[in-house]
Amino acid sequence: MLDRLRELLGATQVLTGEAAAPYGYDWNGGGFAAPLAVVRPASTAEVSAVMKLASETGTPVIPLSGRTGLAGGGQGAGALVLSLERMNRIREIRVGARSAVVEAGVILSRLHEAAEAEGLIFPLSFGARGSAMIGGALATNAGGSNVLRYGNTRDLVLGIEAVLADGTIVDLMQDLHKNNSGYDLRHLLIGSEGTLAVITGAVLRLRPKPGAYATAMVAMEDLSPALALLNEIQQATGGAVEAFEYMPANFVEDYLALHPGARAPFESRPPVTILLEIGALAPRDCTPGLDGALPIVTYLEDLLGRFLEAGRISDAVIARSGSQRAEMWAMREAASEIAGTRDPRIILDIAVPVDRVVSFLERADAALVKADPGAGTSVVSHLGDGNVHYTVFPTRVDPVHKDHLVEAIEDVVAELGGAFSAEHGIGTHKLSTMARRKDPGALAAMRAIKAALDPQNIMNPGKLLPPA
């Protein structure tokens, strides 16, 4: 098998032993799982050749991109890891069409830079953007902080190219906004976590780059009125809110403890801190006035001033420079770092309807106190899209106890019509939840699709779908 892979790709692109070891680790501390080998194809044709060989020999394959996934989907002892890292070309930025044609191994931040050079943005962004790749983002249908305005990965993909388990290349690299020609395989592959195909390329939707941002930290005594504020700000700005991110007092405390040099947004620790960002497109909002002030920033200042006078918020601070804006984002993007400081931990990535986030938090906290009175939490929320990262620090390491806590929180999620995975996917971490909570009809349909496209079960086996 290894000899044949070397013939196909060249000996330097087939890693084994120590050279392959780094690919066996999970970002989230999932321990080590030694791969059979790591292959690094440079083209779709090479991916296809590898998959044909894997299919012939019944070898399990794990497609792997930036290795920042948080669901344990990129590991598997004895599997062939197929790394997309050498397929890293941005083939074209189509300025007029506002789209980008890319290979799956393009790192997210590289695409950001290339788009910005043309006055455009690829709006998918999150803390791991310096390592995560397009293939991984598509495979997990990643979300992030700007979903409120631009949607998640699924909303940003116009075309896709992929290689199926038997080596068949599916070329749907079209730059089309309308295309009703049969089943939309693009959307089947997005979010499939490497269990159906290797994604090798994509045509992505770009957006005009905002000419100016107005970014603020807003303090409130209570989270309940936050959604009404967001809706008013959306109305007042023509839907220009890019981010509306909730951080409770203990999140801010934990961040400051980890980064003693960082500046606290407020002198006191309000129960609610919201990172609010507006992106302005119209030149009238982005062109500095005679006093040098950006109209969009002045507008936000007036708006927040009125909220303050009305007692609807308790304080606000607006970023006056790019570095102040970066400081505000640094705190929000430290969420994974903060959650990773304590063990044991249970990371829950919850979605509920946007008007039920407060109810979820109240009920989840109450359920947790009942199930494990000494447990701690680290909470942060993409409040504008209903996604809550609810990390629990239980009082003891004990699988039965862990299951009990997960069940208690997921009962609340189910009661509120929510989802147990918002943006991280299922991987291996959520398999038991998937078995317990996913609609049985949907699970059966997914298994039928998997069996049809990957009859030998070689595509990332043991991920996403629990055993029947």
Ligand X SMILES: Cc1cc2nc3c(=O)[nH]c(=O)nc-3n(C[C@H](O)[C@H](O)[C@H](O)COP(=O)(O)OP(=O)(O)OC[C@H]3O[C@@H](n4cnc5c(N)ncnc54)[C@H](O)[C@@H]3O)c2cc1C
State which of positions 156-185 bind ligand X (CB under 6 A): none
Task: Give me the least distance between CB of 242 and ligand X, in Å please.
Answer: 14
Indicate the angle between helix axes 357-371 and 226-237, nearest 10 degrees: 150
Task: Give me the least distance between CB of 299 and ligand X, in Å please.
Answer: 28
Task: Give me the least distance between CB of 325 and ligand X, in Å please.
Answer: 18
Is residue 74 close enough to count as binding ligand X by CB under 6 A?
Answer: yes
Residue 352, token pair as written in the block:
């509920």
Does 344 sit behind a cis peptide bond, omega within 30 degrees of 0 on the bond before it? yes
Q: Which residue is nearest to ligand X (CB)?
A: 136
Is residue 104 close enough to count as binding ligand X by CB under 6 A?
Answer: yes
Residue positions counted in the chain? 468
Cβ-in-10-Å burial (0-12, 13-18, 19+) of 256 comes to middle
Q: Rounded distance, CA 52 to CA 368, Å?
A: 49
When the beta carbons of 153 and 237 are compared against ligand X, the nearer one is: 153
When the beta carbons of 65 and 391 are compared against ligand X, the nearer one is: 65
Is residue 84 close enough to count as binding ligand X by CB under 6 A?
Answer: yes
When the beta carbons of 125 and 377 are compared against ligand X, the nearer one is: 125
Task: Give me the least distance between CB of 91 and ligand X, in Å please.
Answer: 16
Task: Give me the least distance between CB of 141 and ligand X, in Å please.
Answer: 8
Is residue 70 close enough to count as binding ligand X by CB under 6 A?
Answer: yes
Task: Give me the least distance between CB of 321 and ligand X, in Å please.
Answer: 25
Is residue 140 close enough to count as binding ligand X by CB under 6 A?
Answer: yes
Q: Which of 44, 48, 59, 65 binds ligand X (CB under 6 A)?
A: 65
Q: Which stretch binds ligand X (CB under 6 A): 6-14, 111-119, 191-199, 208-216?
A: 191-199
Is residue 67 close enough to count as binding ligand X by CB under 6 A?
Answer: yes
Task: Give me the least distance between CB of 422 and ligand X, in Å please.
Answer: 8
Is residue 85 close enough to count as binding ligand X by CB under 6 A?
Answer: no
Task: Give me the least distance between CB of 444 and ligand X, in Å please.
Answer: 22
Q: Which stretch binds ligand X (CB under 6 A): 114-122, 190-198, 273-281, 352-360?
A: 190-198
Q: Rounded distance, CA 454 to CA 425, Å?
A: 20
Is residue 201 close enough to count as binding ligand X by CB under 6 A?
Answer: no
When the beta carbons of 69 and 210 are compared against ligand X, the nearer one is: 69
Is residue 126 close enough to count as binding ligand X by CB under 6 A?
Answer: yes
Is residue 27 close enough to count as binding ligand X by CB under 6 A?
Answer: yes
Q: Which stretch binds ligand X (CB under 6 A): 67-75, 320-328, 369-377, 396-404?
A: 67-75
Q: Rounded distance, CA 49 to CA 71, Å?
A: 28
Q: Which stretch binds ligand X (CB under 6 A): 69-77, 209-217, 265-273, 447-455?
A: 69-77
Query: Which residues here bind ligand X, judged by CB under 6 A?
Result: 27, 62-70, 73-74, 84, 104, 126-128, 132-133, 135-137, 139-140, 142-144, 193-194, 198-199, 336, 423-424, 427, 460, 463
